[in-house]
Each structure stands twice: as structure tokens, then as C-alpha cells.
Amino acid sequence: MKNVLFLALVSLSSWAAVYSTGPIRLQYDDSHWRIGAAHNDKGNAQSEVLVGLEEKESFERYHSRFTVVAEDVSKFHTETPAGLKKYYRSVGEFLTNQRFQITNRKDTQLGGRAAYEITANQRDFGLGYRQWVVVEGNKAYLMTASTRLSKFDEKAPALTAMAESFNLK
């Protein structure tokens, strides 16, 4: 029992960094992750990158990434189940149009909020992706994690923990 408690305390202490700006709050392990440059598409007034994290060490010349994007979803009328379903479908279509192969979709919970999760890969670049979508009012918050396919299962718990720490202020 003492070992389990010790491991739990060590695990909690590694999530020392909290990113908190605008409407979001997110925890991450700053011994392995750093805040990278947020790249906003200047031609897209519908979305904004709120934070971009990248793993400090690369694997096969790629730094695993975790980004949070806020997107205006008012045109989808997400306050209705049909509108929300239409928006979720559009997220999947966007990924498919970008040459992603979607391997799983499911409803889930993040921070006590209803969420939608998509797992996909993009074999062109050898990358695995997991995206979580939380809709609050007319805003969707898309958390996207990416890593090399060969490391996806190994990295998934840390990436999922970051998504689970997501909160709206």
C-alpha cells in the first residue's frame, strides 16, 4: 500500500506546469513538454490556436505535439443534438480530406463535460492522432495530440492525461 501511495504522489508531482490563458486551463509535464509557437491561420477567422505544446525530445525527427484550438461553431447550431452531430461529422470529414484514416470515434467525458474523441493516423507522415472535441456554447475546443505511429501506444497515456486536465475557466 505504501508503494502505491508513493507512486501516486510521484505521478501527481510530475504534472507541475499549468497553462492558463484566456478561457482554458491545462496541465502538462514541463520536464518533457514545452510551449511551442502557436501558428494561427490568418485566413481563418473561425478558429484560433490557444496553445501549442511540443515534446522536448524528438523521435525520428518529430516532436510529439498537443494543441488546443478554439473554433466558432455557431453555424452548426450545436445546442441541438442534430447540430452537434453535424459538427462532429464535419470534424471527421476535415480529417478525412487531409488524408487521415479514422480508426475510432466515440463519445466520452473530459473534465465532467461531454466530449467527442477521434483516433486517426496519417500514414503519409507516419503519425498517429487523437483529437478530443468539447463544445461549450458557440465555441468548440479541439485538443489534438500527434506522435509517431510507432510510439502512439507508449505516448497515449500522457497525451490523454493532458486532455483530461483541460478545463474552461
Q: What is the pLDDT of residue 37?
A: 65
Q: What is the pLDDT of residues 126-164, one digit of tens each?
A: 999 999 999 999 999 999 999 999 999 999 999 999 999
What does the pLDDT average to over 69-85?
94
* 3-class DSSP assignment, residue 56: coil
What does the pLDDT average to over 28-40?
83
Q: Lowest mean pLDDT of 8-12, 20-24, 75-79, 141-145, name the range.
A: 8-12
Q: What is the grid cell recorded at 15?
A: 504534472
Domains in the chain: ranges and CATH: 17-168 (3.40.1000.10)
Please count the residues of the chain. 169
Q: What is the pLDDT of residues 88-104, one digit of tens each?
A: 999 999 999 999 999 99
What mean pLDDT is reported for the chain?
A: 86
Q: What is the DSSP string of 1-46?
A: -HHHHHHHHHHHHT--EEEEETTEEEEE-TTTEEE------TT-TT
Q: What is the pLDDT of residue 87?
A: 96
Q: Is the pLDDT of residue 36 over 90?
A: no
